[in-house]
Amino acid sequence: AFVPGEVLVGLKDGTSLDAVAARHGASRKDVQRGYARLEVARGSERAIAARLAADPDVAFAEPNWLRQPDAIDGRLW
């Protein structure tokens, strides 16, 4: 499962996030250290992530996967 309408993307140095997003029909949602969240049309997350991943200016791209713990080891966070 992933967050509907979101793709995570990391860019290569010197690349414009807005330019990459515009080329792929996405828009900037927010930027974190090392990656950005892009807003995309719901239902197109996997396809746009694949197109972004093939872009030479992109280091990585994937849907914004929802992570769930599959075990608890007794430690408190």
pTM for the whole structure: 0.85
Predicted local distance difference test score (pLDDT) of residue 77: 56
Q: Tell me: the pLDDT tens digits for 13-28? A: 999 999 999 999 999 9
Kindly calculate the radius of gyration of the chain based on its CA atoms and give it in whole angstroms.
Answer: 14
What the block records as the tokens of 14 is: 């010197």
Please say whether the beta carbons of 61 and 7 come within 8 A: yes
Q: How far apart are CA 61 and CA 72, in angstroms?
A: 29
